[in-house]
Amino acid sequence: MKDKIVLITGGSSGIGLATAEPLATMGAELILVARSEEKLKEAAQTIINKTGNRKIRYYIADFSSQRSIRTLAENIKKDYQKLDVLINNAGGVFSAFKLNEDGLEMTIATNHFAYFLLTNLLLDLLKRSDSARIINVASDSHYNGKLDFDSFTKDKGYFIITAYGQSKLANVLFTAELADRLKDTQITVNCLHPGFVRTDIGTKGTKWYASLFWTLASRLGAMTAEAGAKTSVYLASSDEVKGVSGKYFDKCKPKEPAPLATDKQLQKDLWRISEQLCPIS
């Protein structure tokens, strides 16, 4: 990974930070993106202290906002000539239905549309790499997911688990469709299940009882962020997956995704709807 440029969204804490540290140890140049400048500063200093790698820059962005993502992409393209690895890691869960400034439900906006928009806006930089990789952090929650396009903009009886499963199914569908669209390029696209990881994703933007449940469940059965980051690090750095694209990984091994995630028509339908609600041109 020496001199490879790696962008990690949600890179200031949790799985994102745990992904950044080993990549920095391998010599990668890091771009960390998150909402809090204070946490980004702390994360950058932590990585420097642990690895000695000072090739770290950070950018502030709100991944629920298309405007913020577009500004981020513009700034990245001003500052960099290429990008070798893009790790779409930032995500969120929300216990109640809420629309963002773009008129999209917050869970699908943060967990799918952010991946879709940022990736498409940075494709030109990725194409300048000799061998670029896009990695989408999904979840086994996608096995229980179903897509309801109307729920992207309307309250159809919102339920946190349903909304999260839908957004993670969208990650796997997006990965497959993007891999197909990039099959004649040097860019690979894969997604992964990090495992049930002890992070604060379930305590942000949720009601007190949902936050309490997540905290208790995390203490009882969750793995560390470092363990959850292993597959992301593997997909970003290993020669074993060079040229591998369009796959779903768990514990650094390919895994068959949900049958719905392999539906070619659904992959294309999601892309079409995503372009309508989140223009990339």
Q: Which are the catalytic amino acids?
A: 164
Question: Quick one: which of 13, 4, 170, 24 has its CA closest to 85?
Answer: 4
Q: How far apart are CA 276 and CA 36, in angstroms?
A: 30
CA 198 – CA 34 distance, rounded (Å): 18
Catalogue the long-range contacts made by 251-259 (C-beta closer than 8 Å, 24 or more residues apart). Answer: 251/195, 255/193, 257/142, 257/143, 257/172, 258/142, 258/143, 258/145, 258/169, 258/172
Q: Which residue has the tokens 């569908």?
A: 173
Q: Which two tokens stand for residue 36?
A: 């809090």
| Residue 281: exposure state from Cβ atoms within 10 A (0-12, 13-18, ≥19) | exposed
